[in-house]
Amino acid sequence: MASPVPIPAPTRDDAAGPRARLAIPVLAYCGILMAVMQTVVVPLLPDLPRLTGASPAAVSWMVTAALLSGAVLTPVLGRAGDMYGKRRVLLLSFTLMAAGSVICALTSQIGVLIAARALQGAASSVVPLSISILRDELPAERRGSAIALMSSTVGIGAALGLPAAAMVIQYADWHTMFWVTAALGATGVALIRWAVPESPVREPGRFDVPGALGLAAGLVCLLLAVSQGGQWGWGSARVVGLFLTAVVVLALWWWRQLRAERPLVDLRLVSRPRVGLSHVAALLTGFAFYANSLVTAQLVQAPRASGYGLGLSIVQTGLCLLPGGVTMLLFSPLSARISAARGPRVTLALGAAVIAAGYAVRIADSRDLWMIMVGAAVVATGTTLAYSALPALILHAVPAGQTASANGVNVLMRTIGQAVSSAAVAAVLVHHTSLVGGAPVPTLHGYLLAFALAGAIALAACAVALTIPGDTEPDTEPDPEPESESESGPDPRCEATGPARDRSPATGDGAMEGA
C-alpha cells in the first residue's frame, strides 16, 4: 500500500511554545558564563599565595586544573550527550560548574580550591553540546547564525571575565567573586531546564568506559607536560616521562578505538579529510587566538620604564580587551552569511587570514594604546570567523547522532592549541628579557617574536582550511546507513521536502508522523 504524502511537522519552536524561542539566548548565556569561568581567577593569581598561604607554583594549578579537566571531559561529555541526551548532560556540566563555584566561595585551602576548579572545568563541554542541540532543534535557515553566535561566546566571555572579576576583587572580598559565579551558574541551570528542549537524536550503544579512561590518562600526561614544561624544565625527567607516557597511552587508546564496536571517538570519521583537517585547523586556530590575549595582557601592564609598556592596571587591561569581545558579538552574524554564501571552509580560511593580518598590525605598532586595541580587535574578528566555521564544517561531515562528540573533539583540539600557545609564548618571552628596576621584564622584541609566531601559525591554519574538501567534493567514504529504521530512525541527514526540510528525526514534540 502506497504511503500518502507526509504532512509537514511543526517546527520545534511551534511545538514547544514561546520558551523554545529563548533557547538560543539561554545557550549563548551559558557559553559566555563558561568562558568567564576560565578567566575569573587570572586577576587573583598574584595575590593568591598571600591569601591562601600556598606557593606560587601551587596557585598556578588553579588555572591548570580547569584546563586539564576541561580537555578531558569535553569529548567524554560530548559522547555521553550523544548517547543519553544533550540537555541532560548540559545540565550536569553546568551543575558541576556551579558546585565548584560554591566550594571556592567557602574555602581558602589551596587543595580544595584546585579540586573545585577541576569541577568547573566540566563546563567546557557547554559549547559543543549547545551547538549539537541547535543543529537538532533549529531549521536550516536559523541554524548558521545561531551556531556562529554560540561559537563566538568563547571570546565574548573571555573579554568580559577579566575586567568584571578584577572590579569585584578590587571592591569586595575575593570569595564574593565565586558567590557571584555560583549564582550565575544556578541561574543557568534553571534557564536550561526551562527553555532548552531535549534533543531526540540519540546514538545507541554502551558507553566506552575504557576508552574514556585511556583518553583521560593520555591527555592529562600530554597537557600536564605542555603546561608545566616551562616551570619544571623541558628536559627534566618529569616532563620527558610525561611526554613518553602520553605517546604510549594515546597510541594504545587509538589502537583500541579502531577496534571497539562503539568507540568513545569514531576515528573512522577523523580519517575523513573534511573532519580530520578541520581538527588540525582547530588546533592551529586555538594557538593563534590564545596568543592575542596572553601577549596583550602582559604588554600593556609592562612598566613604562621598559620603554614600551603602558603600566596599566588589571582592570584597565581587561577594558582594553573588551572591544575584542564586542567585535566577536557583532561579527558573528557576518560569519554565518559568509558560510551560507561561500561555504564554511572559505570562512575558516578568511578568518585565519584576518588573524594573521591582526598580528601584522601588532608588529607594525605595539606602543600606542589605540593601535594595540585595533590589532587585538582585528585578531578577535578573525577568530569569530574561524570559530564559527569550525563547528559548521563538523556538522556537515558527521552523522547527527555523533555531532556532540565530534564537536567535543574539535573543542579539545582548540584547547590543546591554547595550551601549546601558552607554553610557546612563555618560552619566547623568557628568552627575551631585560632588567627594569631590578626585575626581569620581557623585551619588545620578544613580544614581536610572539606576534610573528602566532601570525605564522594563523597562516598555516589558512593553508589547512583551503585543503579541506568543499561541500561539492566527496569525502573518502560515504556516511554509514542506519541499521534499520526501527532501531535508528530515519537518516537525520536526509532532507524532506517542504517546510519540514532539514529537520532531525524526532521521537517527541515535532516528530513527523506517516499515515
All cell numbers assigned to 58: 601551587
pLDDT tens track, the chain, 515 positions: 443 333 333 344 444 445 557 888 999 999 889 888 887 887 777 778 888 888 877 888 888 888 888 888 888 898 888 888 899 999 999 999 999 999 999 999 999 999 999 999 888 888 889 888 888 888 877 888 888 888 778 777 877 777 888 788 778 888 998 999 999 999 999 999 988 888 787 777 788 889 899 999 998 899 888 888 877 888 899 999 999 999 999 999 999 998 888 888 888 888 888 899 999 999 999 999 888 877 887 888 888 888 888 888 877 877 887 887 788 878 878 888 888 888 899 999 999 999 999 999 999 888 888 888 888 889 989 998 998 889 889 888 888 778 878 888 888 898 888 888 888 888 888 888 887 777 778 888 889 999 999 999 999 999 999 999 875 554 444 444 444 333 444 444 333 333 333 433 333 333 333 33
What is the sign, positive or negative, of the torsion defined by CA atoms of 180, 181, 187, 190? negative
Quote the pLDDT of residue 134. Answer: 86
CATH 3.30.1340.10 assigned to 15-200: no
**Dist CA 27 CA 131 (whole Å):** 9
**Which residues fall within 8 angstroms of residue 378, CB to CB, at 6 or more apart?**
354, 355, 357, 358, 361
Which pLDDT score, from 0 to 100, does residue 468 have? 92
H-assigned helices in 196-272: 209-232, 237-259, 267-270
Backbone φ/ψ region at 205: left (φ over 0), alpha (ψ -120 to 50), beta: left
316 within 8 A of 250, measured Cβ to Cβ: no
99 touches 147 (CB < 8 A): no
**pTM as predicted:** 0.78
Alpha helices in 54-85 (DSSP H): 56-59, 61-84
Beta bridge partners of residue 434, listed in sequence order: 441
**CA-CA distance, 379 to 359, in Å (whole number)?**
7
Say what the alpha-carbon torsion angle 299, 300, 303, 309 is, to the nearest 10 degrees.
70
CA distances for 347 relative to 25, 334, 352, 461, angstroms:
23, 10, 9, 12
CB 123 within 8 A of CB 289: no
Report how far residue 391's alpha carbon sits from residue 371's, in angstroms, rounded to the nearest whole number.
Answer: 31
Q: Which of 92, 71, 80 is nearest to 215 (CA)?
A: 71
Selection from 177, 85, 66 nearest residue 124 by Cα:
66
CA atoms of 132 and 317, how far apart (whole Å): 34
pLDDT of residue 333: 82
Look up residue 124 and give its DSSP letter: G
The x, y and z cell numbers of residue 273, run together, are: 579529510
Q: How many angstroms from the chain centroid is the CA of residue 110? A: 26
pLDDT at 392 (0 to 100):
86
Give the amino acid at 286: G
Locate 458 and state its grid cell.
594563523
In this structure, are residues 492 and 399 in contact, taking their beta carbons and an 8 Å threshold? Answer: yes
In whole angstroms, give the CA distance from residue 246 to residue 217.
8
Q: How far is CA 331 from CA 152, 324, 349, 394, in A?
A: 9, 10, 16, 21
Please enumerate in sequence order all residues whose Cβ is within 8 A of that of 218, keeping only pairs 6 or more positions apart, or say none: 246, 249, 250, 253
What DSSP letter does each residue of 275-300 carry, written as one string? HHHHHHHHHHHHHHHHHHHHHHHHHH
The answer as to CATH 1.10.10.10 being correct for domain 266-471 is no
CB of 502 closer than 8 Å to CB of 318: no
- In this prediction, residue 403 carries a pLDDT of 80
pLDDT score, position 19 = 59
Judged by DSSP in three states, 98 sits in helix
Provide the grid cell at 163: 575586567
Number of H helices, E strands in the chain: 21, 2
Reduced to 3 states (helix: H, G, I; strand: E, B; else coil), residue 316 is: helix
- The helix/strand/coil state of 151 is helix
